[in-house]
Structure 1
Amino acid sequence: MAELLRDNPLSRFARGFFYPFRGGRFLLKTPRLWQYVLIPFLINTLVFSLAVWLGLDFFDTRIESMIPSGEGWYWLLLYYLLWVVAVLLTAILVFFSFTVVGNLIASPFNEILSERTEALVTGRAVSVRFSLREAWRVLVDESRKMLLFVIGMGLLLLLNLIPGFGTLVYSILSFFLTVYFLVIEYTGYVFSRKGQGFSEQRRFLRGRRFLALGFGVGVLCLLAIPFLQFFAIPLGVVGATLLWCDCRQEAADREEIS
């Protein structure tokens, strides 16, 4: 009974959810890693500021001018309703552009941060030797992931054209697609620097669905919190590395018992 309470879908989800926050605590206690966080932080700040500026400009010059207005009370109600929708759409645009571009640019630095974190936790870190060719491979892989994510979100947006339940279905599916993307993105740094592909990563996550789901939701929450979103990428990288290290240790312990 005690084992069931410790290891069930809900507890695995909760454990995965707190890994990004554990990553933050780990970074606070490990000043030697701060140098690997500085560059992604500056990149994230620049990208987010640019995304906000472009989003506000897009809203002011394009979206707001398309919102109809009139003198009647119903026009006023419609105006404010559409204004809220436009603000939300602009915020979503800013959020996804920040997430996609920030992760893409910072990806080579994130692999180094993941390697140093694993070395501190386990005493050693097995990684493919860094080179310009390897850095280019990382950027190409990240670009493919981002492209697939953007295409997927674009296709899901079409669901909003379905009257009635289309928006609800879009909201649910886009949430799970975003969470899945975040899980693949941040755990991918561990597998990528070890020279392992998506098949090995998928095999690792397949038996840890609720743990991975909780982790993705945790990162998504960080991205939604003002100011913390600037640190979401390094916290996600460290959190995913801690998750991988813990799972490998648990697997090794089970092998010793058996």
Structure 2
Amino acid sequence: MGFGYLLRGQRWVATHRRRFGYALVPGVIALVLYVVAIVVVAWFVGDVVAWATPFADHWASPWPGVLRGFLDVLLLVLCLFLAVITFTALTLALGQPFYEALAEHVDRDQSPGEMPPGPELSTWQSIKDGIALVLRALVWAVVLFAAGFIPVVGQTVVPVVGIGVTGFFLVQELTGVAMQRRGIALREQLKLLRSRRMLVWGFGIPLAVVFLVPFVAILLMPGAVAGATLLTRAVRHEPIA
């Protein structure tokens, strides 16, 4: 079960906390940046929605307020959706050397004296994969934002789909650390993860929920990378101690 790998990753880091305490630093930096960005968005969201809906100015009360209030909330939810996904990507980018070292130590712990085969991806390929992943996330964000306007479905189905999509993207980003060390490009990474969707969602959905709490996200990030390394080994049928 995917959730089990998430717990094992947290336990692994807890037993090596002196060695990997520094892995919290990238999350702290990313959190500061995102808090500032979210505060700015929340401050101006009403003005942006009012600017985008001039046609509602002539509607009878209370419909302009109802529409704009709904769009305010929808836009904030969309921003939170993007924040959860890109928070992980930014934290991993800022802490790449830390998390690569952590993933390598997890692999060595699981297979003493034996490292996973395959050359590491080039820096350029890693950057291209990161850009492609962000673009995929943006496409999903637009689709979910548009679907939010559908009565009933937008208030029930869309949030559930959104958390599932967020969980999948989180797992892809986190396992990307271990998979890139194995020379696995993004297309093959997605193919591997899709072949074990229930395992991936079991890991990613609980993580997506707790990552909505910023300080929790920082504390869990190193363990999430460790757990994602174990998950990578599982989907590739590599031995796990």
Q: TM-score, normalised by structure 1?
A: 0.70
Instruction: Render the CA deviation track for 1:125-152: whole Å, top value 9, x for unaligned.
Output: 347777xx93343222111101111112
Give yes or no for contact 1:64–1:86 (8 Å, CA) kept in 2: no
Per the alignment, residue 237 of structure 1 pairs with 225
Percent identical residues: 25
Per the alignment, residue 238 of structure 2 pairs with 248
Write the distance in 1 (CA, Å) between the matches of 2:28 and 2:117.
Answer: 26
Write the distance in 2 (CA, Å) between the matches of 1:171 and 1:211.
Answer: 21
Q: 1:127 to 1:225 in 2, by over 3 A?
A: farther
Per the alignment, residue 108 of structure 2 pairs with 119
Give the match's secondary structure for 1:227.
Answer: helix
Give yes or no for contact 1:51–1:98 (8 Å, CA) kept in 2: no
Q: Residue 141 of structure 1 aligns to which amino acid in structure 2?
A: D
* Cα RMSD, aligned residues only: 3.6
Per the alignment, residue 220 of structure 1 pairs with 208
Q: Residue 20 of structure 2 aligns to which amino acid in structure 1?
A: L
Give yes or no for contact 1:20–1:236 (8 Å, CA) kept in 2: yes
What does 1:58-69 correspond to in 2, within 5 Å? 58-59=44-45, 61-63=47-49
* CA displacement at 1:105 relative to structure 2: 5.4
- The one of 35, 58, 61 equivalent to 1:49 is 35
Structure showing greater radius of gyration is 1
Write the distance in 1 (CA, Å) between the matches of 2:20 and 2:83.
Answer: 27
Instruction: Render the CA deviation track for 1:193-223: whole Å, top value 9, x for unaligned.
Output: 1111245434533443321110111221221
Write the distance in 1 (CA, Å) between the matches of 2:87 and 2:180.
Answer: 19
Q: Residue 34 of structure 1 aligns to which amino acid in structure 2?
A: G
Give yes or no for contact 1:47–1:98 (8 Å, CA) kept in 2: no
Instruction: Render the CA deviation track for 1:219-245: whole Å, top value 9, x for unaligned.
Output: 212212352022343332111112234
Give yes or no for contact 1:183–1:212 (8 Å, CA) kept in 2: yes
Find out whether 1:23 has 2:15 as its counterpart: no
Write the distance in 1 (CA, Å) between the matches of 2:15 and 2:158.
Answer: 40
Find out whether 1:148 has 2:145 as its counterpart: no
Write the distance in 2 (CA, Å) between the matches of 1:98 and 1:160.
Answer: 18
- The one of 99, 113, 135 equivalent to 2:123 is 135
Q: Residue 20 of structure 1 aligns to which amino acid in structure 2?
A: L
Give the match's secondary structure for 1:112.
Answer: helix
Give the match's secondary structure for 2:115.
Answer: coil
- The one of 4, 8, 20 equivalent to 1:33 is 20
Q: TM-score, normalised by structure 2?
A: 0.75
Give yes or no for contact 2:49–2:72 (8 Å, CA) kept in 1: yes
* CA displacement at 1:63 relative to structure 2: 4.8
Instruction: Render the CA deviation track for 1:58-100: whole Å, top value 9, x for unaligned.
Output: 236545898x9xxxxx84x995896476346425414423531
- The one of 63, 67, 86 equivalent to 2:72 is 86
